[in-house]
Amino acid sequence: MSRLIFLLPLVVLAACDRQSEAEPQAPEVTITNSAEMPAGAKPAAKLPAGAIDRSHKGQGLPTYAAQDAKGAYVPLSNFIGRPMLLNLWATWCAPCVKELPQLDTLAGKAPGGLRVIAVSQDLEGLAKVKPFLEQKGIKNLPLLYDDQAKISGGMGVNLPTTILYDSKGNEVWRTSGERDWTSAETAKLLAEAR
């Protein structure tokens, strides 16, 4: 009986908020990671999703690695030498999934030698990512994954986050949240990497 008296208030409290609706998420993204910011850079203020953030401009490519379809670790530094658009995404992230076909198309016809690299942050790794990409018809993006989410976690970013690096591996800009990768504005932004 004493157990029932103890548990009853807990059950009542747990059920109290069942009828209230969840508050919608604000379309703002905070990008702050002062540990990895270049000297003199200031932490970014809250930016709307899809906005261009240049507060990390000039920062070098982090020393992370992703795994490929064979499970081999591929350092991101292997992609230095040509401009690179690095996209961090996950299968459970709706904005990530929505922009993935556009990134795949961009990877197939990227201007100026631009490499488009998308690294999944799914904790299930290859078992989740490979069939997902096949189902979505993604053919131009290399299959890369980080099943410990070290890249997004270490960089302190949300998903999706896409970062443009120049051919020397220095950051040009980044954006967090969904973006139209087919727009004329985006084409101009991509041309900034040399």
The pTM (predicted TM-score) of the whole model is 0.77
Cβ–Cβ under 8 Å, residues 88 and 160: yes
Q: Which domains does the chain have, with CATH numbers?
A: 52-191 (3.40.30.10)
pLDDT given at position 153: 95
**Average pLDDT score over the chain:** 83
Identity of the residue numbered 74: V
C-alpha of 179 from chain center: 12
Q: What sign for the dihedral angle of Cα 157, 63, 101, 193?
A: positive
Across 40-53, average pLDDT: 70
Across 36-47, average pLDDT: 49
pLDDT one-digit tens code per residue, 129-168: 999 999 999 999 999 999 999 999 999 999 999 999 999 9
